[in-house]
Amino acid sequence: MSIRDYDEVFALWSQCDGVGLAEGDSRDDIRAFLRRNPGLSFVAISGKKIVGAVLSSHDGRRGFLYHLAVAEGHRRSGVGRALAQRCLESLNAIGIPKCHIVVFARNRSGHQFWRKIGWEERTELRMMSKRTR
Ligand SMILES: CC(C)(COP(=O)(O)OP(=O)(O)OC[C@H]1O[C@@H](n2cnc3c(N)ncnc32)[C@H](O)[C@@H]1OP(=O)(O)O)[C@@H](O)C(=O)NCCC(=O)NCCS
């Protein structure tokens, strides 16, 4: 993914209930994210149109995957699996052994997808957050 893809990718994310857009998703923030995490975020293209997108990053210890989305007419044909796999391969190539994703509790089909492609649900964990200011 490059920042030139931003408008199309943002439009795709906006159509997906399972993608929680928030601060951090503005054009400037995504530009900074991509610069900080080069070669770790991907788009899927059909013809000239972006039909899938995913962000990934790492903190030197663990990988983090965000905002995986596939356009409705292109689902169930392996695009989501392929995008997630590209992230894992790219993280593995730079020595990151494990990757996390946060999925909305209400996103049942998302849970099924992640389980189906081999991700482990961490029922022993609860996510907690606090603002830095
Ligand atoms: C979740 C999502 C990315 C899946 O993309 P996709 O391209 O349709 O997924 P794939 O075709 O690669 O599917 C991989 C496997 O998961 C299964 N799967 C995909 N979507 C599923 C669903 N909604 N329910 C159950 N299983 C599902 C597929 O059957 C496939 O298994 P198989 O290979 O044994 O047939 C897509 O549905 C989407 O964009 N959803 C909205 C956004 C979202 O919720 N993203 C996740 C944020 S955490």
In terms of C-beta distances under 8 Å and separation of at least 24 residues, what long-range contacts does 87-94 make, across chains too?
Answer: 87/40, 87/41, 87/42, 87/54, 87/56, 87/63, 88/63, 90/39, 90/40, 90/56, 91/40, 91/56, 91/58, 91/63, 94/58
Ligand 1 near 30 CB (within 6 A)? no
Calculate the average pLDDT of the chain: 97
Percent of the chain with pLDDT over 70: 100
In a domain? residue 121? no
Q: Which atom of ligand 1 is nearest to the CA of 116?
A: 16
Structure tokens at 102: 């946060």
pLDDT of residue 116: 98
Q: Is residue 125 part of a domain?
A: no
Choose one of 68, 83, 113, 127 to mutate for the ligand 1 pocket test, by most ligand atoms within 8 angstroms of C-beta: 113
Q: What is the pLDDT of residue 74?
A: 98
Cβ neighbours, 10 Å, residue 66: 18
65: CATH = 3.40.630.30
Note down the domain range covering 35: 3-116
Q: What is the pLDDT of residues 78-114, one digit of tens each?
A: 999 999 999 999 999 999 999 999 999 999 999 999 9
Q: Is residue 123 part of a domain?
A: no
Question: Domain count of the chain?
Answer: 1
At 40 the pLDDT is 98
Taking residues 45-58, report their average pLDDT: 98
Our mutation pick for probing the ligand 1 site, out of 55, 64, 75, counting the most ligand atoms within 8 A of Cβ, is 75
Kindly indicate the confidence band of residue 17, based on its pLDDT and cuts at 50, 70 and 90.
very high
